[in-house]
Chain A
Amino acid sequence: MNYTSFLALALVAFPLTNAANAVERSKSEDVIISRPGVLPSAVLEMTDEPGKWFKDPKSGGSLVVIKPGQAVLIKMTDTNTDHTITSLLWQPGAANFPVDQERPSNASVTQTFDKPGLYVFTCKVHPYMLGAVVVDDPTTEGLDIGAEIQLVTGAKVPTTSDIAKKLLRTFFIGTTPALWRDYRTPNWEVKLPDLPINLAGSVLKLSALNFSEPNALLQPQIPGVGEVWVDTQFEGVSGKTKHGTATQIDASNWTIKQKVKGVEQNMNNPHNMWTDATYKYIYQTEWFDKRLTTFDRASGKVYNTQVVGQNPSHAMSNPLNGMLYVALNGEDRVLKLSPGEFPTALGNINTGPHTGPHGHHITDDGKYMITPNALASSVTIVDLASEQATEIPTGGVIPIAAWSDMDHKAYVANLLGTPPKMLSSLTVIDIDGKKKIKDIDLAENYDPISGEHKGEAYGLGPIQTPVSPDGKYVVSANFLSTTITILDTKTDKVVKSLPCEPGCHGVNFGLKKGGGYYAYVASKFANDLLVVDMDKLDIAGRILLVDPKDGQITGNYGMGGQGVLPLPLADAGMLAPTLKLVGTGKLSPEVEGWLTLVTQQQRGN
């Protein structure tokens, strides 16, 4: 008896109970008592590489196809930081689902799939890392997607619904850099293969999701004041293995001044920036890493890179004393550092167990910090003087960014809504009262089945959500509807939805020359920066983030727009410490020049 058949007998023999096999069984049991575990049929490797966050080592893509009963190994490879492996959507009733690692780590998962259909995984720290498994019954026509999908938010929707199509399209665009919107070309062509897919018996082609849109850049007619920094987090750079640059745009003429690359430091996925009161330093978080990099705003020279903790996401300073606060998205704390060329860690503020704070905000009087806790359905309010922290449950799924107004009312974006009723929501928090006021349905006018949206409230998947410096509006970048929603803070109703780009992500306000504000919106899967005129509530510009003169960029040109930092800072309270330095010699002539352009209204007077 050769080895293979012997083993097969030994393995097959176990489940058999009839007498005819009893003798064979006892013989094989005498010899081999061990029983094999699962052998994975496919692998998804989590990486830092843009668009390849869950990478099939065979195809290089982010989707693997297996048969019912087979298993997939999901593991972390080529990544400098911790992640979670979490089901974003799965087949209703599938055994052992959903998968969810409570805390970020480097732990792997071997998952067996019993039910045909589509399964999508993500990371709760970096929720645009997407990988898919299609469990395909080979006896049916086309790839089995299933009749329904169960979303992590609790909603169960038919695969023929508009929201399911949006998720599919977002998946294919996000994980296929060739499908990202490149404004150097005349049209954005989303062409998917003619692959037959089976939605509960009805067979369609994946190419039914195809579309084309013209690309038209637009120069804003009124210049901005100062400059705008955008983290072009996905750009490839020669001389380093990790991706990302920080792009500096001159707001007076909308040209690119430079791209800071951190080649020597191998700067990894630069995500969000802040500055000091003199605007000499830019503090740059490396979200897929553990580091904070400090560089010179004017020259781009990197002063230092230091380890601060797992997944540093956002950085922001207290306008009262200049202290820098860095949220550690993969941990349960915000790190406090001294400002300057070499920020020094001074202490930690614990935000609560399993919180994973992402896009925190400091009130413009420097009294409070609010952290949206991406890994908990909560926010934490920190009294910055006493450093006392209070965690408030909100019920939102992946609270990802927060912003407070002058009256200590904060708006918190819940990336995946507030179950059971809201697919997309902002939670309003009373900071002084340390309580939740309400949830706002950002997609009130959207029908997830038909896709109809009659009315302006059409924002799905909000990410950054700042309050305008005059307190009138909240502008949200919504990744799933690819819209920008503008909410009137008097009524807390959405008054306008504007088209955004694929991977719509970061928003921040800058000063418009002559008075008023621009909202700048950056998108991950497009290489333009949208400019929204807050007086007209309309798109005023689309600025290309590609610098054709920069020969060091090797791929994903201008892509990966995330953190946005316009300078001067537009919030009056944040601007005040810098205005106080005018004429002291502490500001560069360039910054002094910008400040002469700030109007009385913009100063908050």
Chain B
Amino acid sequence: MTRTRPQCGLSLFLALSLTWPGALLAASAASAGDQHLITLKASAMPSGQLAYEMVSHKVKSSTGKESDLTERYASGPTIPGPTLVMKEGDAAEVTLQHGIDDAQLPVSIHVHGVHYKIDSDGTMKLLNGVADEAAFPGRPYTYKWTAAPGTAGTWAYHDHAFGNPMLGAEDKGLFGTLIINPASGKVPALIDGKVVDVDLADIKREFILWMHETTFWGQELNHIIEGGKEIPLWTNPTVGARLGEKVRFHVIGIGTAFHTFHLHAHRWIEAGTVGGAVDTVNVGPISRTSFVVKAGEGVGPGDWHYHCHVIQHMQSGMMGDFKVVE
């Protein structure tokens, strides 16, 4: 099994090419979905926080069509890290490079939601009993994930090794989002008072909001720009949409605090419930809510506030706006 590979350039390209058949073979047992070849790097931000950045994301579809999605991502490390979007039936090989200057400590990716073998757990041997499944300086590590049926949802990935072999350094910024879209291409949503299936192709904007201690760290996935764009929005941002657009929110907790995510003047259904509208959802560490709303439905345009409804967190500025314009 190819677990490590050279860092970049022509040799990387060759290595990637060589691993295609392996990736196909690994995934073919599960389904005939797309094959994702992703290379991420763990790096330090200018502030000293740690974060993941996208190096390369290529996809080979079941029909054999190859595409390069790398341009979709922001350049440089971001908090949250790159949002990886797959669909049920897809498989991925995710290679992590160690790019944290002046640090010899291993760094990893532990993923939630999808299927993987124990050598892709992203933990240290101390925990998994198998191997140190982490990248070291000059020694990347490759994880294999399968988005098997039933894994649709919004999931976290995060470090489980750096600085502390039991915990890792997710608290310092090493976390990101994995979205597995359902094979059906549709998600249920409360639109105009009814629960309907919304076609994912009709969702033009997605907002990722991580609730870390008393701060939201945001990102937009914009599907209007050709090929899609991932836009870092940093802390407590304004997320914006046009009136009547269907937008999807992904709200995820991390750290130690428990939150209640509230968005003013909008309601949605929690996945798995029918007709049970909510406008506030409990979000604990690595638990999440993902939902579709029609921007400004029944209430019109405005700077609709979103915030954590824990009073102390509100007092610390854990809030932003959902800007709905005509």
Judged by a CB distance under 8 angstroms, whether A348 is at the interface is no
Query: Contact check: which of A30, A35, A73, A105 meets B237 at CB < 8 Å?
Result: A35
Looking at the assembled complex, report how far the CB atom of B171 sits from the nearest CB atom of chain A, in whole angstroms. Answer: 6
User: Which A1-56 residues have C-beta < 8 A from chain B?
Assistant: 2-4, 6-7, 29-43, 56
Interface extent on B, as a size class? 35 or more
How far does the alpha carbon of A35 sit from the alpha carbon of B325 in the complex, in Å? Answer: 13
In the complex the two chains form, is B225's CB within 8 Å of A6's CB?
yes
Q: How far is the CA of A324 from the CA of B257 in the complex (A)?
A: 32
1/0 contact trace for B203-220 toward A, CB 8 Å? 001010000111110101
Closest CB in chain A relative to B135 CB, distance in Å:
19
Q: Considering the complex, which residues of chain B in the window 242-256 have a beta carbon less than 8 Å from any beta carbon of chain A? A: 242, 256
Q: A33-B241, A43-B49 are in contact. Are A108 and B316 (CB under 8 A)?
A: yes
Q: Does A77 contact B (CB under 8 A)?
A: yes
Selecting from B148-156, B193-201, B228-236, the interface stretch reads B228-236
- The answer on a CB contact under 8 Å between B220 and A34 is yes
- Given A32-B240, A39-B47, 17 more contacts at CB 8 Å? A7-B229, A32-B222, A35-B238, A35-B240, A36-B233, A37-B236, A39-B232, A41-B46, A42-B48, A58-B48, A77-B172, A101-B315, A102-B315, A105-B316, A107-B214, A108-B215, A108-B316
Interface: A390 (CB within 8 A): no
CA distance A118 to B40 in the complex (A): 38
Q: A31: which B residues are within 8 A, CB to CB?
A: 222, 224-225
B11 at the interface (CB under 8 A from A): no
Picked from A36, A106, A110, the residue with its CB within 8 Å of the CB of B317 is A110
Minimum CB–CB distance for A437 against chain B, Å: 36
Q: Which of A34, A56, A105 contacts B48 (CB 8 A)?
A: A56
B317 partner residues in chain A, CB cutoff 8 A: 109-110
User: Is the pair B74, A3 in contact by a Cβ cutoff of 8 Å?
Assistant: yes
Interface: B279 (CB within 8 A): no
Q: A108 vs B218: C-alpha distance in the bound complex, in angstroms?
A: 16
A residues near B235, Cβ cutoff 8 Å: 37-40, 73, 110
With A101-B316, A107-B214, A109-B316 in contact, is A29–B220 under 8 Å at CB? Answer: no
Is A225 close to B, CB under 8 A? no
Q: Which residue of A lies closest to B216 (CB)?
A: A37
Q: How far is the CA of A57 from the CA of B47 in the complex (A)?
A: 8
B112 at the interface (CB under 8 A from A): no
0 or 1 for each of B303-326: is its CB under 8 Å from A? (1 = yes): 000000000110111001001010
A505 within 8 A of B: no
Let me know if B47 and A41 touch, CB within 8 A.
yes
CB distance from A166 to the nearest CB of B (A): 30
Determine which residue in B74, B225, B232, B235 has the highest number of CB atoms from chain A within 10 A of its CB, and name it. Answer: B235
Question: What's the Cα separation between A107 and B207 when bound, in Å?
Answer: 24
Question: CB of B239 within 8 A of chain A?
Answer: yes
Contacts of A165 in B (CB 8 A): none
B104 lies within 8 A of chain A by Cβ? no
Distance of B324 from chain A, by nearest CB (Å): 9
Known contacts A29-B325, A31-B222: does B214 contact A108 (CB below 8 Å)? yes
Q: Is B71 a contact of A39 with CB atoms below 8 Å?
A: no
Tell me, in angstroms, the Cα distance from A33 to B232 when the chains sit together: 13
A103 touches B312 (CB 8 A): yes
Say which residue of A3, A42, A43, A106 sits within 8 Å of B256 (CB atoms): A106
Neighbouring B residues of A110 by C-beta, 8 Å: 215, 235-236, 317
In the bound complex, CA of A38 to CA of B233 (Å): 8
